[in-house]
Structure 1
Amino acid sequence: MIEVRVPDEQEGTKAVVRAWLKQIGDAVAENDPLVELETDKVTQEVPAPAAGVLAEIILDTDAEAVPGALLARIETDGVGTARTSAKAGVQLKQEEPGPRPSPGNSLHHETRLSPSVRRACLEHGIDASRIHGTGRDGRVTREDVDRAVASATVVSVGEPATAQPRQFSPQDIPHDRMRLAIAENMARAVAEQPHVTAVFEADFSAVAAHKAAMAARGQKLSYTAYIVKAAAQAMSVAPAINGRWEKDRIAISPTIDIGVGTALGEKGLVVPVVKDAGSLSLEQIGAKLDDLTRRARDGKLERSDVAGGSFTISNHGVSGSLLAAPIILHQGQAAILGVGKLEKRVVVREVDGEDAMLILPMAYVTLTIDHRVVDGHQTNAWLTRFVEILEGWPRA
């Protein structure tokens, strides 16, 4: 018997069993996805460590999955029988295959549904064969069902194919686990960490000129790459910004690991982390961001991609806001940077000893801090240095 356990690299984030992708008695190959685990940050498939037959499920759907916990056992002699789980106290039966798609339906190929998906389809009156599956081999996942419910683009079971889609009001969008976990973390952060926000503004003229010059050479970089680089460099004037509150001390992270909030539409957001950003070049940061952002939107982040951040950036201006304050702190961090919409504004600058009105690309930047960890002078020193780096970016 081979044990299947919850991965250890969980960084204290609570995980639950979202859906079993195989059932008791199913044959599995090594590295076949067995079960989906979900945290507030990412959904992860746990693969089979060996080939055999799934003989026992220990943690059923919706059970909490702590690092190292026993999930299941695989029998490697090729003979699988349903076993009684001592921990669950009930015998878990092999599920019958889910409904098959109608002839000609090419939306997905894998038609076996997990118990979680089947329950969700029954609860909302959804025909699973009409949902486009994004899981392995076109399998319909619980996220696919949640997305279908939220967008109201599926037809209910028993309705003719020509029927109008079922309409859902915004208030009727069901909470998924990611939204519930985000809500829990936000409420806890506000309750435990005294938030204070300072507001500066930054001229992005030098960054825009450098960005354009790099693009002309074939190196496309986002503004976020410059923001991450400048944030990492600014840590030298106020190291506690890269720290966290502990009961007996303020702990300063030995590396600058910067999380970047990435929106997932109605599903919320995730915060992939650029590890050791202080040691990376601008180009390396840009490449890391491109990779992390792409995998975040494809739902392919690993837990290690979202764990271990020491500082966070919310580039909320990409969706149009000029200012957001306070931006809720990520738990275990002392500060979060907010960057508003980059827009041309008329500002007064001194030119040749006289005041002049100039049109410049400007953005408001905020630093929200845990006031237990840092004070106003550290906050303002960090923001001052951050703005100086952006405005003084050397020519390419």
Structure 2
Amino acid sequence: MSDKEMKLVDIKLSADQTEGTQATVAQWLKRTGEQVVKDEPIIELETDKVMMEVVAPVDGVLHEKLVLEGEPAEENKILGTIDETGVSNPSNEIKTDTNLEDRAETTPNNVSIDLPRKDPTAGLPNPPSTFISPAVRRLSQQHNIDLNQIQGSGKNHRITSRDIKAYLATSPNDHATAAPALAAQVEPTAAGSEIIPHTQMRKIIAEHMQHSVQTAPHVTSVFDLDLSAIIKHRKSHKQAFADQGVKLTFTAYFVAAAVQAIKHQPKINSQFHEHGLEVFKHVNLGFGTALGDDGLIVPVIQQAQNMNLMQIAAELTRLTDKARNNQLSQKEVQGGTFTISNHGVSGSLVATPIIINQPQSAILGLGKMEKRVVVEEHNGQDMMVIKPMCYISLTIDHRALDAYQTNDFLSHFKAVIEAWQ
């Protein structure tokens, strides 16, 4: 069929899929010339937040790959094309010698096509009702992995190559056949040292952090916070929340107080533009969740300004569980207008500056809770008393905000927490 007779449809990312987040093609799930079905996953993308899939916009044949594995996938950039009128050539299904695997040729008209490849996992049982990509099949056989032991992070819990690598990273000693592959990833540079290659998530996090520091002048203000009131309230209400299946954490109080402080000082919940400051009426509040050595992810509580403490606690529980099981969807990490970093859970008293989650204007830091001696005045006399305290900080984009808005927000946040009923 000539090019004139083809009906080519572009494969693109929409704005709501990326929302400014940098994405990289992790793998193509289809070969050039292979039949595709509308809404079938054909590309696997990796961001600093989640793994996501691009689906076929139409039925047809994958005609061309324009963005290859490891290359950036930008908003509205054409990733490839599908010939809506094409029919898959039977030769695409022919198994060939292993030396052809992962090779590609270029036709005279510069259309890249994949050579037929041998499937090294023919006969390998798949989890029921789960699509397994060729890359996942190869990894699972290479490392002798039972795929039923892995919880997939892709759409409909489909297993991705990153799931396989994460599984190997957590239990490398359980897979004797994995040693050669792991050894190839860790190369000694000198006696007593080694190079551990960056994951794609770590690379994107690094770029995001560097961009934030280069973009916004960071300034941090630190306050002391008395936690007595919320500790008392939590002790009285924790069981009632649990009876409704909700875990009442201290973070829930911090989220609720942050919303109240934003209502008092709305400019904190903003984004800086060259022509003006965009102040949001909604509070989509992100909270940093550590993933161990894999990095950090920031789930977002959407429309937090409309929630009470029970609703906030329930959403925190749901999103935290999904984050730790690598099951967050792209929408659940998008749209944040303000972020909380509860760095104190790992023992930190003060962290400064906490890097702003661009393009937001501020990030709230919460230090470790500890009992400290403080001085209070009783009946005209100073007395030393023991209080459960922590340090709170607000790091701002000094282009957008000044000390007045910063300290006004922290003062109100402090007042809400310390007077909690």
TM-score range, shorter chain: 0.7 to 0.9
Asked if residue 114 in structure 1 is aligned to residue 126 in structure 2, the reply is: no
Taking the aligned partners of 1:387 and 1:300, their CA distance within structure 2 comes to 34
Asked if residue 80 in structure 1 is aligned to residue 88 in structure 2, the reply is: yes
Taking the aligned partners of 2:80 and 2:298, their CA distance within structure 1 comes to 30
Distance 1:309 1:25, change over 3 A: same
CA contact (8 A) 2:36 2:62 kept: yes
CA contact (8 A) 2:48 2:205 kept: yes
Please list, as runs of the form range in 1=range in 2, the aligned pairs for 1:358-369 lying within 5 A after superposition: 358-369=385-396
Question: What percent of counterpart residues are identical?
Answer: 39
> 1:15-37 CA deviation, whole Å, 9 max, x = no partner?
11111223345555554432211
Asked if residue 232 in structure 1 is aligned to residue 259 in structure 2, the reply is: yes
CA contact (8 A) 1:57 1:72 kept: yes
Please list, as runs of the form range in 1=range in 2, the aligned pairs for 1:173-192 lying within 5 A after superposition: 173-192=196-215
Shift of 1:304: 2.0
Asked if residue 7 in structure 1 is aligned to residue 14 in structure 2, the reply is: yes
Structure 1: 5+ residue stretches without partners: none
CA contact (8 A) 2:367 2:391 kept: yes
> 1:39-59 CA deviation, whole Å, 9 max, x = no partner?
222211223445665454343
Shift of 1:366: 0.6
> 1:299-343 CA deviation, whole Å, 9 max, x = no partner?
222222222211111001111111111101111121110001112
Of 46-55 and 18-27, the range deviating more from structure 2: 46-55
Q: Secondary structure at the match of 2:76?
A: coil
Which residue does 2:97 correspond to in 1? Answer: none
CA contact (8 A) 1:152 1:168 kept: no
Which residue does 2:73 correspond to in 1? Answer: 65
Taking the aligned partners of 2:411 and 2:13, their CA distance within structure 1 comes to 44
CA contact (8 A) 2:229 2:419 kept: yes
- The CA RMSD measured in Å over matched residues stands at 3.6
Q: Secondary structure at the match of 2:112?
A: coil
Q: Secondary structure at the match of 1:367?
A: strand
Taking the aligned partners of 2:312 and 2:357, their CA distance within structure 1 comes to 21
Distance 1:168 1:138, change over 3 A: farther
Asked if residue 128 in structure 1 is aligned to residue 136 in structure 2, the reply is: no
Taking the aligned partners of 1:295 and 1:245, their CA distance within structure 2 comes to 31
Of 32-41 and 327-336, the range deviating more from structure 2: 32-41
- What TM-score does the superposition give when structure 2 sets the normalisation length? 0.78
Q: Secondary structure at the match of 1:332?
A: coil
Taking the aligned partners of 1:101 and 1:155, their CA distance within structure 2 comes to 21
Which residue does 2:114 correspond to in 1? Answer: 93
Corresponding residue to 1:288 among 309, 312, 315: 315
Greater helix content: 2
Structure 2: 5+ residue stretches without partners: 1-6, 93-103
Amino acid across the alignment from 1:79: V
Which residue does 1:257 correspond to in 2? Answer: 284
CA contact (8 A) 2:48 2:201 kept: yes
Which residue does 1:142 correspond to in 2? Answer: 162
Please list, as runs of the form range in 1=range in 2, the aligned pairs for 1:191-202 lying within 5 A after superposition: 191-202=214-225
Shift of 1:216: 2.3
Taking the aligned partners of 2:214 and 2:406, their CA distance within structure 1 comes to 21
Please list, as runs of the form range in 1=range in 2, the aligned pairs for 1:1-396 lying within 5 A after superposition: 3-9=10-16, 10-24=18-32, 26=34, 28=36, 31-49=39-57, 54-74=62-82, 79-81=87-89, 89-93=110-114, 96=117, 98-100=119-121, 112-114=133-135, 127-130=142-145, 133-135=150-152, 139=159, 141-145=161-165, 148=168, 152-153=172-173, 154-156=175-177, 171-217=194-240, 218=243, 219-394=246-421
Shift of 1:240: 1.8
Shift of 1:14: 1.9
